[in-house]
């Protein structure tokens, strides 16, 4: 048995989980303590999300126990999890795109009066949640119209507004900029001081050093170690991959930039971006930096033909692309990986094979 101190509010004890024949979580034991952030670290597919989904009531363990305040708990549903004071921010957003910001925040907790939705209370509580993280969006706006970063912040606001005593955050910072991450961490520090226990998943080691107290490492579904958050990066990476890594970011040959390949000139789309000009040479990577809402996504979408623009030009290898012509862009060799891959890039019910085929299918067939 793991030690159960008075500070331990949540424990997983010898928990295992398989999907079909695949054993994804193998005999994992983990403690989460009052006023502390327990980080989960591991490579893609290590089992971090699956583990926290068992705390959130999305999956049930095949064997092993979950203890809340030292007593065995059955967490068969999201409701069970919330009833134990657990709030979870999942890695994949769980918002309903057609519902408003306020309705999403209050989903499942809609205040009613005489059997009717009490709009006044709904809006007041949703606004209070937004104020917690300082997010300024209209309460009535459908969530699907907002970018990924704002949607992520709404998920965070929603979870925070539940006043949970155990807060689980699965890669909450993946879509956020540095400034927003700082704001989130300030809130997490306050929650820590109030005694909230947290599980925090991130691939960013600097974030873990900043916010975590302890780091538990998973590898291939197995618990490897729990170490203090001050542990040096080399040791952490070694635990993650199971061997010493010579160079974390090996520098390949520096490529010589070739001829100009993508030329964007004076690109303008009213109220989104204006007069954007830059050149990308063959063999070159150009970064687009800016705050959330600055227009980065919109510029990239316009270049890929996903949206029309009002003026300016996009040229690939000296050939001008038409505004809003996805097929033409694909034929010219432009590939686009959008920020919302689940919503905009993948057909989740389709096979890997089908998904790989869709982009080229669209470009070569005249039917669509």
Ligand X SMILES: Nc1ncnc2c1ncn2[C@@H]1O[C@H](COP(=O)(O)OP(=O)(O)OP(=O)(O)O)[C@@H](O)[C@H]1O
Which residues on adjacent β-strands are paired with residue 171? none
CB of 93 to Mg ion, least distance (A): 13
Q: Applying CB under 6 A, does 326 fall inside the site for ligand X?
A: no
Strand ranges for 142-272 from DSSP E: 166-170, 197-201, 214-219, 222-228, 260-269
Say how many residues touch ligand X, by CB under 6 A: 11
Out of 91, 94, 127, 238, name the contact with Mg ion by CB under 5 A: 91
The answer to whether the CB of 39 falls within 8 A of the CB of 229 is yes
Q: Applying CB under 6 A, does 47 fall inside the site for ligand X?
A: yes
| Closest among 42, 40, 41, 20 to 31, alpha carbons compared | 40
CB of 76 to ligand X, least distance (A): 17
| Closest among 82, 98, 240 to 161, alpha carbons compared | 82
Out of 1, 3, 44, 319, name the contact with ligand X by CB under 6 A: 44
Q: Which does 44 bind (CB under 5 to 8 A by kind): Mg ion, ligand X, none?
A: ligand X
Spell out, one character per residue from 68 to 97, where the chain touches ligand X: x when CB under 6 A holds, - when not.
Answer: -----------------------x------
Using left for φ > 0, alpha for ψ between -120 and 50, and beta otherwise, residue 304 falls in: alpha
Out of 38, 49, 123, 173, name the contact with ligand X by CB under 6 A: 49
How many whole angstroms separate alpha carbon 198 and alpha carbon 166?
Answer: 6
For residue 340, what are the contacts with CB-CB under 8 A and spacing of at least 6?
Answer: 148
CB of 58 to ligand X, least distance (A): 9
Choose one: 41-49, 296-304, 306-314, 340-348; the region binding ligand X (CB under 6 A). 41-49
The answer to whether the CB of 272 falls within 8 A of the CB of 295 is yes
CB of 108 to Mg ion, least distance (A): 23
Q: Which is closer to ligand X, CB of 48 or CB of 165?
A: 48
How many whole angstroms separate alpha carbon 270 and alpha carbon 292?
Answer: 18
The answer to whether the CB of 191 falls within 8 A of the CB of 13 is no
* Structure tokens, 239: 């635990």
| Closest among 345, 40, 301 to 172, alpha carbons compared | 40
* Structure tokens, 301: 């979408």
Choose one: 45-53, 113-121, 156-164, 321-329; the region binding ligand X (CB under 6 A). 45-53
Out of 49, 88, 161, 297, name the contact with Mg ion by CB under 5 A: 49
* Structure tokens, 310: 């009002």
Q: Which is closer to ligand X, CB of 92 or CB of 310?
A: 92
Out of 34, 42, 216, 229, name the contact with ligand X by CB under 6 A: 42
Q: Which is closer to Mg ion, CB of 17 or CB of 34?
A: 17
Choose one: 42-50, 146-154, 181-189, 335-343; the region binding ligand X (CB under 6 A). 42-50
Cα Rg of the chain, angstroms: 23
State the residues that interact with ligand X by CB under 6 A.
19, 24, 42, 44-50, 91
State the residues that interact with Mg ion by CB under 5 A.
48-49, 91
């Amino acid at each position: 048995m793991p030690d159960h101190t008075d500070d331990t509010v949540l424990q997983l004890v010898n928990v295992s989980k398989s999907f079909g024949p695949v054993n994804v979580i193998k005999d994992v034991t983990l403690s989460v303590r009052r006023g502390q952030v327990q980080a989960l670290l591991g490579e893609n597919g290590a089992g971090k999300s699956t583990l926290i989904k068992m705390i959130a009531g999305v999956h049930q363990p095949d064997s092993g126990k979950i203890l809340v305040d030292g007593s065995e708990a059955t967490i068969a549903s999201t409701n069970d999890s919330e009833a134990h004071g657990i709030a979870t921010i999942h890695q994949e957003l769980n918002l309903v795109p057609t519902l408003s910001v306020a309705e999403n925040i209050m989903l499942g907790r809609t205040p009613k009066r005489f059997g009717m939705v009490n709009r006044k209370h709904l809006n007041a509580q949703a606004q209070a949640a937004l104020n917690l993280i300082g997010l300024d969006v209209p309460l009535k706006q459908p969530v699907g119209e907002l970018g990924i970063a704002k949607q992520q912040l709404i998920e965070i606001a929603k979870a925070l507004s539940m006043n949970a005593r155990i807060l689980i955050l699965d890669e909450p910072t993946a879509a956020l900029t540095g400034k927003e991450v700082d704001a989130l961490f300030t809130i997490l520090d306050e929650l820590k001081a109030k005694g909230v226990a947290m599980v925090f998943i991130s691939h960013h080691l600097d974030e873990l050093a900043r916010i975590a107290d302890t780091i538990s490492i998973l590898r291939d579904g197995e618990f490897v170690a729990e170490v203090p958050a001050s542990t040096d990066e080399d040791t952490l990476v070694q635990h993650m991959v199971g061997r010493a890594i010579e160079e974390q970011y090996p520098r390949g040959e520096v490529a010589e930039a070739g001829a100009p390949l993508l030329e964007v000139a004076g690109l303008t789309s009213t109220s989104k971006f204006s007069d954007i000009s830059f050149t990308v040479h063959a063999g070159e990577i150009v970064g687009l930096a800016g705050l959330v809402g600055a227009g980065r996504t919109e510029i990239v979408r316009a270049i890929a033909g996903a949206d029309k623009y009002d003026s300016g030009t996009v040229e690939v290898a000296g050939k001008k692309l038409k505004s809003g012509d996805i097929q033409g862009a694909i034929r010219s060799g432009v590939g686009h990986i959008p920020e919302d891959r689940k919503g905009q890039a993948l057909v989740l019910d389709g096979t890997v094979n089908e998904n790989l085929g869709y982009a080229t299918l669209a470009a070569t067939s005249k039917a669509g």
